Every structure is written in structure tokens, then in C-alpha cells.
């Protein structure tokens, strides 16, 4: 079931990215000017945070093959802590935009920016729930399933970050 969820979520993000590309082609000046207002440092830090969290998710999966429970739980905890840090930075970034009057209604770029990053953040929150759940039901299959979802969250951000923050 998790693979069906992951594939369907990838398709939804694919549609959002397709919509982004279409709107970019319609109004490139708005997109380029709006993109220039994003905080690339925070976006880059969030990328490093999620890549590192993916490493610890992989370590949780690998170490859960043994009967020991401490190491997988430690790795899951680090993964979750990094996920929380990602969310804190995302909230800070949103508050920066709100402080200068930028919202989801500012223009089509910000509508798509908030939809895609907000939808991604919702997946991070769900991923944190899964990580917490499998840390209590500490079996290899459970950890592998939750970490597969977490890697999908990583993958989506690795696509969103360059498109939203870097590609002009």
C-alpha cells in the first residue's frame, strides 16, 4: 500500500510541477522577479537538512535488520529532529514573506510556491508521524516502509528546490 501512496503522491507533485512550467511560460517576468525574492540560503539549508535526514533514515533501515532496537531508534530520532528543523526553517521563510506582504494571493508564482512547498511540508509532517510510529513498532519491515515514504519526501524536495529557487 505504501508504494501505491508514494507513486500517487509523485504523480500529484508531477502535475503541480507541470502547472508551474505552464504558468512560467505564460508569465516569465513575474516568475523570475518573484523567484529572486526567495531566500536561497534557507532553501539550500533545508536541502542539506533533508539529504542528511535521508542518510539517517537509510541507517535506521539498515540497522533495524539486527534485533537491537537502540540504533534504529536513534537514527529515526535524528531523522525526525532534522525533519522538525526543516519545518522550523520553512515556517521562518513563510514568516519572512508575510512580513513584507507576500502571500499565496500575491501572484501565480507565489500561489504555486505556497501550494507546492505547503503540500510538501504536509508530507514532512505525515512522515514525522510515521517515523514516530515505527520507532515504537520497531521491526525491519515497518522501518523500511516509513523510510521509503521519507525518501519520497526527500526526492520531492530535491526536485522542488532547484525549480523554485535556482532555475531561471
C-alpha cell at 111: 500561489
C-alpha cell at 8: 500517487
| Residues 82-112: tens digit of each pLDDT | 999 999 999 999 999 999 999 999 999 999 9
> Domains in the chain and their CATH numbers?
47-166 (1.20.120.80)
Cell 525533519 identifies what position? Answer: 83
| Residues 131-168: tens digit of each pLDDT | 999 988 888 889 999 999 999 999 999 999 999 999 87
Q: What is the pTM of this model?
A: 0.90
Q: Is the pLDDT of residue 121 over 90?
A: yes
Q: What is the pLDDT of residue 37?
A: 93
Are 75 and 60 within 8 A, CB to CB? Answer: yes
| C-alpha span between 164 and 38 (Å, rounded) | 9
3-class SS of residue 67 = coil
pLDDT, mean over the chain: 93
Amino acid at each position: 500500500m505504501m508504494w501505491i501512496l508514494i507513486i500517487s503522491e509523485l504523480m500529484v507533485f508531477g502535475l503541480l510541477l507541470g502547472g508551474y512550467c505552464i504558468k512560467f511560460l505564460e508569465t516569465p517576468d513575474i516568475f523570475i522577479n518573484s523567484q529572486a525574492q526567495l531566500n536561497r540560503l534557507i532553501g539550500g539549508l533545508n536541502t542539506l537538512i533533508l539529504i542528511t535526514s535521508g542518510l539517517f533514515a537509510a541507517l535506521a533501515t539498515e540497522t533495524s535488520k539486527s534485533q537491537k532496537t537502540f540504533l534504529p531508534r536513534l537514527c529515526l530520532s535524528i531523522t525526525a529532529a532534522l525533519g522538525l528543523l526543516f519545518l522550523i526553517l520553512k515556517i521562518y521563510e513563510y514568516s519572512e514573506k508575510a512580513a513584507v506582504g507576500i502571500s499565496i494571493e500575491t501572484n501565480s508564482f507565489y500561489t504555486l510556491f505556497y501550494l507546492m512547498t505547503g503540500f510538501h511540508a504536509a508530507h514532512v509532517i505525515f512522515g514525522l508521524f510515521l517515523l514516530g510510529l515505527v520507532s515504537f513498532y520497531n521491526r525491519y519491515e515497518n522501518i523500511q516502509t516509513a523510510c521509503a515514504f521519507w525518501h519520497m519526501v526527500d526526492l520531492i524536495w530535491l526536485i522542488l528546490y532547484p525549480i523554485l529557487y535556482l532555475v531561471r
